[in-house]
Structure formats: structure tokens, C-alpha cells
Amino acid sequence: MPNQPAEERARNFKEVALGYTKEMAMQEAARCLNCKKPKCVQGCPVQVPIADFIAEVAKGNIEKAYSVIKSTNSLPAICGRVCPQEIQCEGACILNAKDQPIAIGRLERYVADEYMYLDACDLISAKPECPFIDEEKKVACIGSGPSSLTVAGYLASRGCKVTIFEALHEVGGVLVYGIPEFRLPKEDVVAKEVGALKDLQVDFVTNYVGGKTFSIEDLKEQGYKAVFVGVGAGLPRFLNISGENLCGVFSANEYLTRVNLGRAYDFPNYDTPIIKGRKVTVYGGGNVAMDAARTAQRLGAETVHIVYRRTADAMPARLEELEHAVEEGIILEVLANPIEFKSDGSGNLASVTLQKMKMGEPDDSGRCRPLPIEGETYELETDLAVIAVGTRPNPVLLENEPDLKLNKWGYIEADEETNETSIPDVYAGGDIVTGAATVILAMGAGRKAAQEIARRFGIED
Amino acid sequence: MANKILKKEQLIPGQTSKLVIDAPHIAAKAKPGNFVILRVTERGERIPLTIADTDPESGTITIVYLVLGKSTALLEQLNEGDDILDLCGPLGKATELHSGGTVICVGGGTGIAAMHHIAKGNHEAGNHVVAIIGARNKDLLLFEKELKEFCPEVLISTDDGSYGHHGLVTELLKDRLEKDDSVIEVVAVGPVPMMAAVSKTTEPFGTPTTVSLNSIMVDGVGMCGACRVTVGGETKFACVDGPEFDGHKVDFGELRQRLAAFSSLEKKSFDHHCRCKCNDNS
Ligand SMILES: Cc1cc2nc3c(=O)[nH]c(=O)nc-3n(C[C@H](O)[C@H](O)[C@H](O)COP(=O)(O)OP(=O)(O)OC[C@H]3O[C@@H](n4cnc5c(N)ncnc54)[C@H](O)[C@@H]3O)c2cc1C
Ligand SMILES: Cc1cc2nc3c(=O)[nH]c(=O)nc-3n(C[C@H](O)[C@H](O)[C@H](O)COP(=O)(O)OP(=O)(O)OC[C@H]3O[C@@H](n4cnc5c(N)ncnc54)[C@H](O)[C@@H]3O)c2cc1C
Ligand code: SF4
Ligand code: FES
């Protein structure tokens, strides 16, 4: 797929991947073997009928392909961009054995974009035209990430009245405040998908915090018959090392929220400030670390290091993002673990002490453990550190809903079949149930809950 | 639209104003100690402000703010009848109210307004509330009248001696603690150096001391960690674990440094704002 040239894109926030043309998409689709029992579908958490939609693309029927995808995936323009395809659909593709797998994600993205740019949204069959909305079938979603958006799309298109309550001033969850513009455009993609839900009469109430502005009980009193909790796992983890509260040390959430939600990349035209950093270090090896590092690069850093305690091939990030980051000049500082942040003497970050690591034997989980090489430490100059080592469940809602049963890690316990919680008619899904995971898994959970809600409403059996 | 400004009063012209805002959903839940996060314009920054008072019956909340930089300057441009673009709350933990004694509430500058709500809560919890308020001079003093409505004692100090005691609030506080052993708690809200000084003053007396920390915030719901403060050697998030903490355990030096983290950028933002405004006028 064509991309913006690395030198150019490393200095702007425009989308990196430019997308297929129709010819390219049809050519790629023509490589599909049309397996009788397509493995790719099993690899997809929401079971997009991949072979069917690809067959339509091969014939040039893009609109038909779109409705096939939409039958199980309500946010294809997003999934096509952010799914870790190499371990999901494409990872299962039979062509992996001898050749490149079919670029399923790119095809999905192409099809979804075509449709969005044509603005043919209302003509697509998977979304009933102007469904009759039954004001009695009231459903509330708390949080507006992909899990809630999926619940809303599913139920609204079946005539339920859905309201989404979001703590922040913009809707989309991590899709708007976490994943950067250059990977997932906010106006052209996220806002359009949200707009389609508004067409289905889904209401969005922003600046409303579950557990603070309202409780689950309040919602029940207001006549909501079912509640879906999709509040994500937002509380950032830190490294718990000395110097971590120096000015210049950020959590990835703060750094990315300032840039994405606050549009700090356009400061001072937007009011949210950000420290740009000259020598930037980012800690972690997942998508979040890649996003933070590439954001720092785009804000004009001289050098950006990703510090990771294992080797590069063990990084959990999407392969494409890792490759893009390296192309853009990000330096991988692997087998290194931060042990101290040092100050310039006036409370600002000046450097980090790193411990050299080596890979040990595989443990019970089969994964090799990184071990420190005694006595081997070194200093790296850094004036901006971004910590991207994971999150914990956000306590704001949970603390105020003591009846909601949590598992031993502090996440909400939900029934595997229905996603119902310990409170009847209250469902949960996404990162607040699984811990930080993926967009598509959050959507899968939302879909499961929505199906159960629809069943209890008697809309579906 | 919601969040309409019903009443605006300039408490100190050009410097501190009070807004009464129509926000029934927040008023219904707000407790002493809570704050809101607001945004004034589409391109604006999210800023936290304490809920200085609530009236659940009329569905209003009151905020009092000091015009410091761009966001508060934009807020100051709004008038009665205008809407606040985004208003989110009530956030933060509510004040833990103890009962059965004397509670001294110390307020400095704009902090007096925040302290007012906590003092009121303590009064309603049945405590004997002593308010100690201070400012640089008489004209900068807030809420004296409001506090007198429920505080049997309101002690005042000014730096220049233009009103009340000539000196610092901590002098009044120390004096009081020496004479009065019914004090079960001291609460301080105000500038960081003042809260630090109050905590230091109460330490030898062993009086439990609560401070309300004004660390820099972004989301205000525990997602970003911008507001982290060190309390008793542990990292806490002021927006969800606080904003009130044990003053004897807070690392005030670190808080001061973190509050200055964006100062040069904030100045840039403000200058940019002034330039744009001047251009608009021309
Ligand atoms: C920087 C970054 C990059 C990522 N990259 C990828 C990727 O490339 N591919 C991928 O598949 N996944 C990626 N992920 C993970 C993915 O985004 C998440 O797994 C997914 O968004 C989880 O969805 P969710 O519905 O659980 O909630 P979230 O997206 O976390 O949204 C939760 C929403 O709930 C709101 N909320 C929280 N508490 C309350 C409350 N009490 N009341 C009201 N609202 C509340 C939050 O403000 C938020 O808007 C990434 C995550 C991050 C942070
Ligand atoms: C829980 C809490 C309650 C508060 N209550 C009040 C109140 O009742 N009245 C009042 O006048 N002020 C209050 N503040 C402080 C208020 O938020 C800041 O004065 C305001 O954000 C300044 O914004 P600005 O753009 O006008 O100034 P800026 O030029 O941006 O900053 C001026 C100074 O304000 C502080 N500041 C800047 N941005 C933030 C931010 N996002 N969050 C917190 N502090 C910041 C910094 O110390 C900075 O140096 C409170 C702060 C907190 C955390
Ligand atoms: S939703 Fe994700 S896993 Fe499923 S087909 Fe699309 S890209 Fe592949
Ligand atoms: S302001 Fe973001 S965690 Fe407190």
C-alpha cells in the first residue's frame, strides 16, 4: 500500500498510509483463493465474512462488499487501520505458507473509505433505513470507546433508543484521545463513524462521568432498561523509579491526550500546551509506545529512542507501526530497562540511567524473561520521557458502584456468554473487562452484550 | 444549551470573579471539596476550578476564579446569559467531614472561595468552624460576609496591615492552636507556599491538617497522571485520590516545580491570545 514518504510524514500529522486505488484493491482481491472453509474468518474476532467481501471486491462491487463487511463489523474503516492483522485475519490466511497473506485489513479499509467518501451511508442495507425507534427500549452506554459504539450501532439499528455518556468532551474513547491522527484521522474517519450513529438517533452526552455525575441507579430510575459499561482501562501505570515526577516525565496517556484531544500539535492556535522535547525517550514496546514516539518525532524532536527491556521482535506493537516507526528514524534502544530519572538540578528531567538486560530462559508461560546484566548501566540524555508500560482499571466508576463485582486484577467480572455483570441488566465489555486489549476485541464484547440485550428485549432470539 | 451563567459578579475587578451557573446535574451531586473541569472555547484548554458553593434546589453551582492566564481570561470575557462550552463534574473526592469539635479553615487568596464550601460542610456536620482568611491587602479579601453567616469566628490578616491582623494567617493559626485544644482539624486552601506554611505550623501541635492541592490537570478523571503528587512517599493522583490530602505528608517542593512545568508555554499562549484579540479589533 502506498504511504507518505518517511522523511515527509515524520514532520506532519497527516495519515501515513494513503490507501489503495480501486485497481490495486481488485488486483489484491484477485489473489484470494476463495477457500471453502476460510481460516481468516476464524482469525477475526467478529467473524467478518472475509472471503465473501473479497469476492465482491474482486468483481468491483465495492458497495456490495461494504454491506457484507458491515453485517458483522460496525466500524470497518477503523478496524482496517488499527487491527493487528498479522495475528488475526491475515495471520490465519492460508497464503502465509508460501507467499504474502491477502492484505485483508487494507482491503477492508479501502472498502470502508470508499463508502464513507461517497457518503452513501444511508443506502447500505446492513443499516436499516430510518429504523423506528422505540423510546421504551432505552439503553445507556457509559464511555464512548469502540465497545460502546458497537453496542449503540447494533441496538439502534434494531430500534432501541441508545444514549452514550462520556466523561470527556469528545466521543470515541482511545480512538480520539489515544491513537494519533496520522494513524486514524479524527474528522474523516472517527467523526464519520460517530455521525452514522447520530443518524440512527443515538444520543451522545459528553462531560458526564459515571460514578460522579450519575450512578447506574440513576440511569435505572430514568428508565434505562439495560446499561453497558465500556469505560476502558485508563489509569496509567508508572515505573515506580526515582525521579519519575520530574517535569518532563509524562505518562503516554497525558502526552497523547494533550496532543490528540487538546490538539497541542497546533499550539498556540489551540490552548493546550505540550513539552516537545529535544532528546526524547519512550518506555514500552506496544502500540502506545510507537504512537508516543512517532508523535514526539512529528513535534520536532532531534532524537527519539524507544527503550524496551526485551528484543525488538518481542515488541507487542502492530508490525506495521514498528516498521513505520523505524522508517521514520525512531531508534530502538532494546534490552535496556530504566532505573532512575535524573534532574538538571531545578526539577526538570535531564537524563535516564538504563540497566542493560539479556534474555533468559523461557519461563512457564513460554516467554523468555529479560534479566539484568549486573553492574552494566549507562546514561542517556533525555529532556522528555514518555512512559507507555500499560494501564490499570480506572477507579472513578468502580469505586462508586460497590455492587459491581471485580476480578482479582480489579477489572469488572462479566459473564463469558452474555457479558452481563453481577448487577442484572448491567453489561460490561472492552478494556474494563479484559485489561488493555484491542479495538476489535472491545467491539466483539460490545456485540455480544448487544445481542443479549436484543434477545431480552424480544427483538432477536 | 446547558451551563448558562446566571449571575456574574466581579469580586475584585479585573482579577477575581464569581459565576453562578445553571448546572442542575452537577448541583445535585456536588459535595464540599469537589471541583469541575471546564473549557470555554472549541480550541480551549481543560481547566479545573473548585465548586465554591451549590444550591441543589435552584440547580446552580458557584465558582470563583482568579484571572491568571489565557483560559481564565477567556472565562472572564463571558457574561450573564452566556453558556460555558464544557462543564464536567463534580470531580474529586468529597471532603471527609469529622465531627465533634473545632475545625479551623484557613483560606488564602482565591482559595478562600474553595475553603468556603468546606467550611460550610463542616458547619453542617456540627463543628464549631473558625475561619482564618488572609490576603495581601483589604481589597483582595473575599467571602468575609459569606463566611460570617455560619462561622462564629472569622479571623482576618493582611500582609500590609490594611485590615485585621498585620501579618500572616499562620501567625493567627499558631496563636489559636496554642490557646485552644478543642481543634480536631485544620484545613488549608490557597497558594502552595501558604498551604506548606500552614502544615508546618500545625505539625508541632500534631493537629490533623488537610490541604487541597491545585496540581495541573488534563482530564480530571484519573486517566492521564498529569496531576500526580507525592504524598507520604507515594504517588497519588490529585484528581481522583484528592484533591485533599494530609498536609503533613505532601511534598510541596515537588508540587511547586510541577506547577511551573508549562510556564513559558502558558505565557506564549497568553501573548498569542492578546495578539489575536488586538488584530480582531483593528
Ligand atoms: C495509544 C494507543 C494506541 C492503541 N493502538 C491500538 C491499535 O493500533 N490497534 C488496536 O486494536 N488497539 C489499539 N489500542 C487499544 C484500543 O484502543 C483499546 O483496546 C480500545 O479502545 C478499548 O475500547 P473500550 O471500548 O474498552 O474503551 P476506550 O476506548 O478505552 O474508551 C473508554 C471511554 O470511556 C470514557 N470513560 C471512562 N470512565 C468513564 C466514566 N466513569 N464515565 C463516562 N465515561 C468514562 C473514557 O473517557 C473513554 O472515552 C491502542 C490504545 C492506545 C491507548
Ligand atoms: C482541583 C483544583 C481546583 C482549583 N480551583 C480553583 C479555583 O476555585 N479558583 C481558581 O482561580 N483557580 C483554581 N484552580 C487553579 C486553576 O485551575 C488555574 O488557575 C487555571 O488552570 C489557570 O489557567 P490559565 O490558562 O488561566 O492560566 P495559565 O497561564 O495556563 O496558568 C497559570 C498557572 O495556573 C496553573 N495551571 C495551568 N494550567 C493548569 C491546569 N490545567 N490545571 C491546574 N492548574 C493549572 C499553573 O500553576 C500555571 O502556572 C484549581 C486547580 C485545581 C487543580
Ligand atoms: S475486523 Fe480486523 S481481524 Fe477482522 S477482518 Fe477486519 S482487519 Fe481482520
Ligand atoms: S488530571 Fe489526569 S489523572 Fe488527574
d(CA A9, CA A98): 33
Chain B residues whose CB is inside 8 A of the A191 CB are: none
Taking CB atoms and an 8 Å limit, are A271 and B261 in contact across chains? Answer: no
Phi, psi of A305, deg, nearest 5: -110, 135
Q: What is the per-residue pLDDT for A121?
A: 39
Task: Looking at the CA of residue B228, tell me the nearest atom of ligand 4.
Answer: 4
Q: What is the per-residue pLDDT for B240?
A: 95
Q: Give the 3-state secondary structure of residue A101.
A: coil
Chain A residues whose CB is inside 8 A of the B225 CB are: 236, 238, 250-251, 253-254
Residue pair B50/B63 in contact (Cβ under 8 Å)? The answer is yes
- Which amino acid type is present at position A77? A
Residue pair B167/B184 in contact (Cβ under 8 Å)? The answer is no
Q: What is the per-residue pLDDT for B22?
A: 96
Q: What is the per-residue pLDDT for B279?
A: 55
Q: What is the per-residue pLDDT for B168?
A: 92
| Burial of A21 (C-beta count, 10 Å sphere; 0-12/13-18/19+) | exposed
d(CA A21, CA A114): 10
Taking CB atoms and an 8 Å limit, are A272 and B228 in contact across chains? Answer: no
Q: What is the per-residue pLDDT for B208?
A: 96
CA distance readout (Å), A31 to A26, A90, A96, B95, B123: 9, 13, 12, 65, 77
Regarding pTM above 0.95, the answer is no
Ligand 1 mean position, distance from CA A444 (Å): 14
Q: What is the per-residue pLDDT for A298?
A: 95
pLDDT in tens, A171-203: 999 999 999 999 999 988 999 888 888 888 899
Query: Up-side HSE of residue A334: CA atoms within 13 Å toward CB?
Result: 12
Nearest CA to B131 among B139, B117, B140?
A: B117
pLDDT in tens, A281-324: 999 999 999 999 999 999 999 999 999 999 999 999 998 899 99
Q: What is the per-residue pLDDT for B278?
A: 55
Q: What is the per-residue pLDDT for B281?
A: 44
Residue segments in chain A with a per-residue pLDDT below the cut of 50: 119-125, 128
Nearest CA to A233 among A440, A433, A448, A443?
A: A433
Residue segments in chain B with a per-residue pLDDT below the cut of 50: 281-282
Q: Determine if residue B59 is left, alpha or beta; phi over 0 gives left, psi from -120 to 50 gives alpha, anything else beta.
A: left
Ligand 4 mean position, distance from CA B64 (Å): 21
Chain A contact for B144, CB < 8 A? no
Q: Which of A39, A40, A48, A50 to mutate to test the pocket of ligand 3 (most atoms within 8 A of CB)?
A: A48
Q: How far is B258 from chain A (nearest CA, A)?
A: 6
Beta-carbon contacts of B46 under 8 Å, excluding residues fewer than 6 positions away, are A169, A262, A272, B37, B38, B39, B86, B217, B218, B219, B220
Q: How far is A255 from chain B (nearest CA, A)?
A: 8
